């Protein structure tokens, strides 16, 4: 079975720049009405961590699900 991942966005640190949304190859993230990055398709996440690495404010953490 394919691995699954949890995407945690620390809203206080997210400034809504959209870099993580632009880089995600699986279109997992979208901006919420509060202009925060939000995982809308978490089951599609492949754990590449590009969002985590690109975020200038270190607001995203990717964790493999148990």
Alpha carbons within 13 A on the beta-carbon side of 39: 19
Cβ proximity to ligand SF4: between 3 and 66 the closer is: 3
User: Pick from 8, 43, 57, 65: which binds ligand SF4 (CB under 6 A)?
Assistant: 57
* Dist CA 19 CA 58 (whole Å): 12
Q: Are strands 60-64 and 29-31 parallel, antiparallel or unpaired?
A: unpaired
Q: What part of residues 4-23 is at the interface with ligand SF4 (CB under 6 A)?
A: 5, 7, 9, 14-20, 23
Min separation Cβ 34 and ligand SF4, Å: 11
65 lies in the site for ligand SF4, by CB under 6 A: no
């Amino acid at each position: 079975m394919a691995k699954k991942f949890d995407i945690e966005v620390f809203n206080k640190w997210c400034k809504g720049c959209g870099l993580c949304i632009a880089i995600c190859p699986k279109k997992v993230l979208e901006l919420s009405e509060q202009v925060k990055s939000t995982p809308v398709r978490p089951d599609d996440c492949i754990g590449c961590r590009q969002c985590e690495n690109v975020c200038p404010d270190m607001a995203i953490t990717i964790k493999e699900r148990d």
